[in-house]
Structures are given as C-alpha cells and as structure tokens.
Chain A
Amino acid sequence: MTDQPSEPALRLPAYRREAGVHPALNSPEYRSTGLRSPQQPPVVLPHLLTEVTGPLFGHDRVAQHDDDLTRQYPGEPIGQRITVTGRVLDGDGRPIPDALVEVWQANASGRYRHIVDQWPGPLDPNFGGCGRVVTDSNGNYTFTTIKPGAYPWGNHPNAWRPAHIHFSLFGRAFTQRLITQMYFPGDPLFPLDPIMNSVRDEKARLRMVSTYDHELTRENWSLGFRWDIVLRGRDATPFEDEADDD
C-alpha cells in the first residue's frame, strides 16, 4: 500500500508492422476491388489500448458438432471426408490458446448454401458449410469436414476459384484480427486465381496452402491436412526483456 494511490505506468505491447505480406486492396485482376478499394493513403494508427486488446471468445461461442461439418444434418454429406488441423501462432512462434476460429466453405460440388450462389452445382441437403472451433492451450485446432469443390465466378471468362476454406481468427488483440482462406496442395487452378495471386510474394502466398499429412489420415475414414496460421507478433518491450533475463 502506498499513501499516494496512482495508476501504474501504462505499458502496452506493440505489434510489428510487416509490409509486403497482405494483398494490396487495389488489385485490378480481382475486379471487385475497383470500386471498393480506398484511394487515399491510410493513416498510421498507433497501438494504444483499443488496438492491443480485443475480444477473447472461447468455448461459449461453440456448440455441439460445430467442429464436425459432416454431423450437422440428419445424413452424411457427399464428398471426401477430411480432417483439417494446425496451430494458431503469433509471429514469434507463441501459440494463441483459447481463441475462436470460424470456418465456412462450399460443398463438394463447389456450391455455397447461400441465396446468391445459383450456379448449377447441386446443393447437398446434408451440408451447411459452417464450423467453429476454439484453440486448445497449445494453440491447436481441429475440425472435420468434406473437401470443398472448385467453383465458377464472374470475374473473367471461365473463371474458377481453387478449392478453399474461409478462416476467421480473432487472436488476442484487435491488431491480430485476420480473415483468410486455406487452399489445398497441388491445385492446378492456383496460377489462374486473381484472389490467391493478389498476395504477390510467393513465399507468403504458399503459406496459405495446407499440406497433406499422412499421419493425420485415418485408415478407412478420412484424409488429413495440416495448416498453421500465423497472426501478428509483438515488438520486444523493455518489460519483456526483463522477464527474459531469468
């Protein structure tokens, strides 16, 4: 106890700003960016209290079968049953535990259960295409689904999106929020896809591609794919340096 009650000095983490990873908002090959990308340069926002904090959603947001998209309807969906697993880490390799991961995808024929998706791929009465999981104490997530199909879109003549699963991640701070897509290895549509190729750096682009993992493949049941997700890391702070001295 001190007789001068005062707030302790405010020390906040700072998240690294890394250029050259995320796509440019104005990417003309993806036509919809044309009228939706800002033209003014963004203003640098310091990392203050609102930015270094964020919603910490956990198991309260997840219901039974949210981690198994093959068990959400009375029957089993058509398609190749797969398990997708990986770790959610920050840019320094620290696992991000207890973090909500939301996923959505097309069915095996490449059709989304959405009113606007009307191409003649069949809907599957036993597949909704949405899931939610929470990372464990080591940042691991796992869900079961079926492999989505490729689908056509109107961006350019005979345009097809490579098969992908959408991922939404909160991390631990507003700075770490990320929505992205996971792709499957060896897809011949990769070089033709303006959305994937909006990530100009090849190494960064390939970080969106999962790997086939035979260890995860279950005999007579499902194929396994592994995909780690890396959210922003922190700059070292004096406080952390002290903590590392022991």
Chain B
Amino acid sequence: MDFLAFLVTQCLNALSQAALLFFLGCGLTLIFGIMRIVNFAHGAFFMLGAYVGWSAVYVTGSFWGALIAAPILVGGFGAAFEMGILRRLYGRDGHSFLMVTFGLTLMMGEAIRLLWGVAALQVEMPKSLSGIVFILDEPFPIYRLFLAGAGIVTALVIWQFLERTRLGLLIRATSQNAEMVHALGTDVRLVRSAVFGIGCGLAGIGGVFAAPMVTASLGMAPNAVIDTFVIVIIGGMGSFLGSMIGALLVAFVQVFGSYYFPDFALAFMYLIMLTILVVRPGGLLGKEA
C-alpha cells in the first residue's frame, strides 16, 4: 500500500466515522441549544435506533425501510418523553434533567434487553451497498462511502431547514430568546417537543447507519454518549456548525491517532478536548461559558 493510497483511504474512513458522530452530536447540540439541558439518554436513543432498525429490516425486508421507520419511531418516542416527563421539570435546576435522562438510559437499556434479548443482532446492509470499490488499488467498502455521503447530505438538509423554514426560524429564535418568542404568540412548548423529537430521531437514524458495521448491541449506548459529549464540548454547546467541526476533528484524531499511536488512541481525543477547553472554555463556536 503506497502512502497516497493509505492517506486517501484513511481520510475516507475518518469521513465515514465523522458522519456517524455527526448524527449523534448535532441532535444533542440542537437539544441543548433550545432547552439548555444535557440529554444523557442520547446514546440510548442511538441504540434504540439500531434495534428498531433491525426490526424494521426484519419486517419490511429492506434497509431503506429501516432508515425511514427508525427516525420516525425513535423521534416520536423522544417527543413523547419530552411532553410527558421533561416538560414538568423546566422550572427546576439542571440536575433533575441529568437524573431523569440518566434514569431513562437505564430503563431503555433494560427494556431493550427484555424485548430484543442479550445477543447482538446483525443488520444486513442492502446488497447494492455491500460491495467494494478500488481506490488507488486498495479495496474500500461502498457502505462507508455511502455513509460519508449521507452525513454530508444530512448536514446540508439540516442547515437549510434551520435557515429556510419557519420551524427552523422558530428554533433559532427560541434558542436565542425563548420568552420573546413566547410573547410573540408561538407555543414554545411545541418547539421544544419538536426539537427533542428531531434530535432523538437523528440519533436513531445514526443507530441504523451504525448497525451494519457494529451490530445492534447493548454496549452501544454508553460508548456513543461519551464520544457525543466530547464532540459537543469541542464544537461548543448549542452550535450546529460546531457539532460538525467537532465530529470531523474527533473522527480524524481517532483514525490517525490509533494508527500512529495505538497505545494512546483514546487519550488523543481527550487531549484535544482539554486543549480547546483551556483556550476557548465555551468550545470552538460556543458562547463563552
């Protein structure tokens, strides 16, 4: 393998990882931007997405069916959770949100264990994506290219959604001044439910995308939630663009770090986070904390 081929394939690997991390990070940061709460259950929604995806493939026989069903069901569950439980807590301090969403993580984990069993579940990728292409004579999975593409498309769609649509406008406005939006006659409670649902739906779709690569398993939630927090802290809490940059940074550091310094693969990610926190306490694009 020559150096150029190595560089290109590693960059593509990093891009595909960044896409997965972005699905998680951007949902978490949207939720934080609007509600000022840290959704500890974000990893559990990611895991739920993978399991719902498995069931959808089982029922419909199609991976594409799973890509549609999972975000709707997971997002719907998230919105329902916001309306049923979180909404009652808005007057309280941040700790109660942490406790409630952490509790939700445990309950979702147990529920998944009961419903789907302890064994990891394999999600077949569609035949059209399971092949390889040769990039500079090196085999590369088509699925990873597809994943990187899906990440880019999703980022563009969300950006346009936030900039061009009325709901997007309301979301941006609410994140800046919720009381003013409320005073102007918009039901801020609905905006919050919608954002929580969208954020969880994005995590769910990330779970479906991840499932063919890592299988649907009970270990997904804790692993995912840590990476996601790192991304959001690096990018700046509440910043959409920040979550994109954070995902890219973490993915590239993980891929190249684990190649050149395998013994410090994990340390690098935290080192970057620490450095950024020291230089810019609010994250790269966040408001100063």
* A, B bound: no
Q: Which residues of B contact A (CB under 8 A)?
A: none
Q: Which residues of A contact B (CB under 8 A)?
A: none
